Amino acid sequence: MDQGKRLAVNTICNVSNLVVHAGVGFFLAPFILQHLGPERNGIWALAGSSLAYANLLSLGLNSAVNRWIPMYLVEKNYDGINRVVNTTLVVYGLGAAALAVFVAILAWGFPSWFDIAPEYHLAARLTVCFVGMGLTCMVGMNVFPAVLSGLQRYDLITGSAVVTEILRVIAIVTAFFSGLGLIALGLASGLCHVVRNTLYVTMAWRKCPQLKIKPSLARWQVFREMFGYSVNTLMYACGQIIQSKAALILVGAAISTAAASDYYMPLILVGVIGRVVQVGAAAMKPAATHLDTQERSEQVRRLYLMGTKYGLMIVLPIATLVLAFAPQIMRIWLKDDFVPVGPAILMILTVAVTFRVWHVPAFYVVVGLGKHRMFGLVTIITAVASVLMGLLLATAGDLGVIGVAIGFAVPDVLLALFVITPYCCRNVEISVWKEITGSVVPALVASIPVIAALLVTRAYFEPTSLVGLMAVVGIAVGPALVGWWFWGFSAQEKKRFAAMLPRRRRG
């Protein structure tokens, strides 16, 4: 399969994965809240947020793995692939052992650190243990999805993720209807990680038969080279986790677990907006690496501009929908569990995530080129500033959860406008003006019809049910497609999309 078709297939697979997980999250999150209540739902949210830092134990090496593998595949250097994989596997094994210790410590102190009611202490500790068990398995075997992404087999990654997500939903629903609660939820999530990563291992071996699992092939020099590349990705990931999870932990520790639940629900919806662009752009990294290896710099620049434009074309209508109908969305979604502060949190975080995902495609291209040094440091600084501002506004400013949301939103907006744009443009050797005229303006113009349709609909119609909300989405689809086709896509892009459509055979 040629590079263009592979990129299209990988993007479709990633988006399909998102659709499944977003749909599950949309329907499952209020279902969990309804069965657990605000207090235990807050415990569940805090457990997941506290353990999310386990991803940092990968040291960002997956970024190096799925950069090195495409390079070695071009050279047919399977010895190099095995050295990279086994070196990473040894490091991840040590990380899994460290995580097991961390989980034990977290389970012991979790109830007191978040001032959890005594009747929930045992359930909270067991939930942390079960989720931590699954994450420990994930960390230990995390190299295998990186191998699949390096092979550009996102279809297999998506298939494994979708299967295990469906199994998780079945297990959770069955457990709740059987009278089980928080502990069963933690167990189902932990087992989901185990099954998913077992599938990744199986698929990686089948699609790369030259792969050999021999820890003796691990090399210190290989680790040094990989870590030298991935340290910036690690810092970026650390900043991203702080920005996405620290706010929830801050709310739980400084206010209450019930307030953490109030913040957590809008955060789920905002997370979907971010993942819409992220999963679509993830396939751009190995594509950029492949093009860079072949010294096709002009195609890298086209990939950068195209990815940024498409990302904005997707996120702008979604952000408009959320901002225009935030109260209605939260009421329809949560029903009796609706809290008045929810829409305000949703709107603030939506503005922030719109600016953040603006540069997600650019980030993947720059990482694929190995020129992402500044991303890590800047993201860490932004994350720390977000925590301090959120804490200040929530406590000294007496704004509560709204203050936390504002504190985490403002640095994101400033970072996107004044730091990330010029840095990315410089590294792909285009001007900021070229990004504005080649990506931002076409995306804004293409989005005018759908934005206008949503605003007019908001003025005359207020949805009160899921059917009504889906009707609003349906109204927006037509103008979105018209705007994309006539003002968003270039003539060359239209030909490319038309060529991908199935054609009727003659005779």
Q: Given this model, what pLDDT does residue 444 score?
A: 95
CA distance 172 to 194: 16
CA distance 502 to 507: 16
Higher pLDDT, 235 or 316: 316
Task: Please provide the average confidence, as pLDDT, over all residues in the chain.
Answer: 83
Confidence of residue 345 (pLDDT cuts 50, 70, 90): very high
Q: What is each CA distance from 493 to 289, 302, 484, in whole angstroms?
A: 22, 11, 11
Q: Given this model, what pLDDT does residue 442 score?
A: 93
Which range in 55-69, 148-162, 254-268, 493-507 is most confidently predicted, on average pLDDT?
254-268
Q: Given this model, what pLDDT does residue 385 score?
A: 86
Average pLDDT over residues 428-457: 93
CA distance 213 to 89: 9
- Does this model's pTM top 0.95? My answer is no
Q: Which of 189-198, 202-211, 477-486 has the lowest mean pLDDT?
A: 202-211
pLDDT for 380-427, tens place per residue?
A: 788 888 888 888 888 877 788 898 889 888 888 888 888 888 888 888
Q: Which of 12-26, 94-108, 118-132, 266-280 has the lowest mean pLDDT?
A: 12-26
Calculate what percentage of the chain has a pLDDT beyond 70. Answer: 92
Alpha helices in 114-219 (DSSP H): 121-140, 143-150, 154-177, 182-207
Q: Given this model, what pLDDT does residue 9 score?
A: 62
Confidence of residue 507 (pLDDT cuts 50, 70, 90): very low
Work out whether the CA dihedral 182, 185, 190, 191 comes out positive or negative. Answer: positive
Neighbours of 299 (CB within 10 A): 17
Q: Given this model, what pLDDT does residue 208 score?
A: 78
Which range in 12-16, 112-116, 132-136, 160-164 is most confidently predicted, on average pLDDT?
132-136
Per-residue tokens: 304: 């950068």
Q: What is the DSSP string of 259-321?
A: HHHHHHHHHHHHHHHHHHHHHHHTTHHHHHHHHHHTT-HHHHHHHHHHHHHHHHHHHHHHHHH
Residue 438 CB contacts under 8 Å (≥ 6 apart), including other chains: 305, 309, 430
Per-residue tokens: 288: 């950029």
* Nearest by Cα to 37 from 344, 343, 400, 336: 336
Q: What is the DSSP string of 53-75?
A: GGGGGGTTHHHHHHHHHHHHHHH
Residue 117 CB contacts under 8 Å (≥ 6 apart), including other chains: 39
Average pLDDT over residues 4-23: 65
Q: Which of 122-126, 186-190, 237-241, 422-426 has the lowest mean pLDDT?
A: 237-241
Q: Given this model, what pLDDT does residue 321 score?
A: 94
Q: What is the DSSP string of 215-250?
A: GGG--HHHHHHHHHHHHHHHHHHHHHHIIIIIHHHH
Higher pLDDT, 285 or 97: 97
pLDDT for 19-61, tens place per residue?
A: 777 777 778 888 888 888 888 888 988 888 888 888 778 777 8
Work out whether the CA dihedral 285, 165, 345, 50 comes out positive or negative. Answer: negative
CA distance 338 to 166: 27
pLDDT for 466-492, tens place per residue?
A: 899 999 999 999 999 999 999 998 888
